Amino acid sequence: MKSENLKRNFVNAAIGVVFIVALAVIGATFLPSPRLHDLVLNFIEINHWVQRGIALILLVISWHLYMRKRIAWIVCVVLLSASLILHFVLHHHPIGFAIIVLEIFALAVLLISYNDFRRPLIMRNRIKHLSADEKAHVRELSIKYGQNPCSYLALEDDKMIYFGKEVDGIVAYGIVGNVVTVCGDPICAPEDFINFLAEFKAFCKDCSYECIFLGTTNVFLKEYESLGYSHVKSGEEAVFELSDYQLAGGKMAKLRTLINHANKEVTTHEYKPTEKMDEEIEKGINAVSEAWLEGKKSSQLGFSVGGVGLEDPMDRRYFYAKDADGKIVGFNVFLPYACKVKDEDVSFTGMGGYMADVTRRIPHAPGGVTEKLIYDGFMVFKEEGARLGSMGQAPLANVHEEGVRDNMTVKIIEFIYENCNKFYGFKDLHKAKEKYSPSVWAPGYFVFSSKNITPEMVFASIKIQNPGGISDYVLSSVRSMFKK
């Protein structure tokens, strides 16, 4: 760790030299002494405004160097090399010699640290660019160690994958501006988690990224805290103990009524594309998707929500509902997850589970279709021996925690939950999950690398899940009002 910090300090010192050279060039254009002006600017006669423009470019480059961007590295190496040649040819003065030494130092450090300036290169780690073996390894780790219900989303095309160097593990993430946004928790053996998280933290720091984890569970909160991360509750996940889950009982009355109504109108079936593809079923599923998307207020969300994935179904489970005419009127996609937690020996216990990820139906579908698909899917998994089911997180719901003093971040989240339902139906989503009577509401968390969530992190979290950003929610709300 000390050697890494020393290396980082050397690189930052080299970047500081570039910054000082840029300031010197700007200063030289205002120097009253022609001699000093010539010493700094290599005796080259260039218009002062041109010189100042070049200096401003250098200042910008120094910032992007600090952010470890490869293009800035390339431009800076070229400029330093050209400047060195000019100094060797033109300068015969002690000041010129000092400038040469500084430029040699900066150029040498930048060349040696070539691999540290890799921001654009990590784009190659997108899941769709991985080799078949790499993708298979992501799949294997997600199923084996993915205790977070959204772990399997690591296999979606919108993810980049960080592969551990010292630990066999992966992190599924995306980048917006200077923020790395992670989907769920890092995925690795639980006994390796602290070391893997430290490695990923160093990776983000070396690339000068802030970091926020979306939808983490409470399993590794102590490990996050021990490495200096902060956290705040981000919502609640509807979790079902499948062994005890049934329609009987007073609290299930509303759900039971909906499902009984749906039983009269539709039948549910499981589609297993990895065993036998059916073009008609897939057409029906795609038609439901298209109709559902047309009726949405805002753009389709991603990152924390998966796609249908019929082009490469892998371990996804598909359940669809057909009406009396044989038309597909709704479908659900379930994702596998380990649903295992740490015990005192820091090992995994328990059996597997499934999360209802994609739930879609056509407009005016028979009432109770989605509820029937959820329940019937859970019952199939129950028969197979799965322990848990999940309906995912209801974002921003009940973020106050007993015994924890609310900070400004919590107050802002509560304000959004109470007052911004026109833009996104936070309350409606929680209420929709509540009618299923979950066995438990499990807390979810935002985990972040600073003391408080920054505005840049908030923007990144919104942007990565909806490319339209905040404006898309606002415009969708306006469109909805005009329709009404």
Any idea what the CATH number is for the domain that residue 329 is in?
Answer: 3.40.630.30
Last residue of a domain, one of 116, 131, 165: 116
Q: Would you say residue 257 lies in a domain?
A: yes
Q: Would you say residue 345 lies in a domain?
A: yes
Give how far Cα 91 sits from Cα of 31, 45, 96, 359, Å: 18, 15, 5, 71
Percentage above 90 pLDDT, the chain: 49
- Secondary structure class of 215 (helix, strand, coil): strand
Q: What is the pLDDT of residue 50?
A: 56
Looking at the structure, tell me whether residues 311 and 438 fall in a common domain.
yes
Q: Would you say residue 460 lies in a domain?
A: no
Looking at the structure, tell me whether residues 295 and 439 fall in a common domain.
yes
pLDDT tens sequence across 14-37: 888 888 877 776 666 665 555 555
Tell me what the mean pLDDT of segment 338-350 comes to: 47
Q: What is the pLDDT of residue 150?
A: 93
- For 221, the enclosing helix (H) or strand (E) is helix 221-226
Whether the Cβ atoms of residue 172 and residue 182 lie closer than 8 Å to each other: yes
Q: Would you say residue 192 lies in a domain?
A: no
Looking at the structure, tell me whether residues 292 and 433 fall in a common domain.
yes
**Distance separating alpha carbons of residues 216 and 444, to the nearest angstrom:** 6
Q: Would you say residue 260 lies in a domain?
A: yes
Kindly report the pTM of this predicted structure.
Answer: 0.78
Q: What is the pLDDT of residue 106?
A: 85
Tell me what the mean pLDDT of segment 366-391 comes to: 95
The band of 4, judged by pLDDT with boundaries at 50, 70 and 90, is low
Whether the Cβ atoms of residue 321 and residue 268 lie closer than 8 Å to each other: yes
- For 445, the enclosing helix (H) or strand (E) is strand 440-448
Q: What is the pLDDT of residue 224?
A: 97
Q: For residue 84, what are its two tokens?
A: 């060195």
Q: How many domains does the chain have?
A: 2
Looking at the structure, tell me whether residues 245 and 387 fall in a common domain.
yes
Tell me what the mean pLDDT of segment 128-151 comes to: 93
Q: Would you say residue 384 lies in a domain?
A: yes
The band of 345, judged by pLDDT with boundaries at 50, 70 and 90, is very low
Q: What is the pLDDT of residue 208?
A: 80
Looking at the structure, tell me whether residues 107 and 241 fall in a common domain.
no
Residue range(s) defining the domain that contains residue 309: 235-403+413-444
Looking at the DSSP assignment, which residues form a beta bridge with residue 213?
182, 447
The band of 268, judged by pLDDT with boundaries at 50, 70 and 90, is very high
The band of 442, judged by pLDDT with boundaries at 50, 70 and 90, is very high
Tell me what the mean pLDDT of segment 238-261 comes to: 92
Residue for token pair 């450090």: 109
The answer to whether residue 379 scores a pLDDT higher than 50 is yes
Q: What is the pLDDT of residue 350?
A: 44
Q: Would you say residue 36 lies in a domain?
A: yes
Last residue of a domain, one of 95, 116, 137: 116
Residue for token pair 């759900």: 255
pLDDT tens sequence across 41-98: 544 444 455 556 666 777 888 877 877 777 888 888 887 787 777 666 655 555 556 7
Chain mean pLDDT for the chain? 83
Q: Would you say residue 179 lies in a domain?
A: no
Last residue of a domain, one of 116, 137, 155: 116
Q: 120 versus 133: which is more confidently predicted?
A: 133
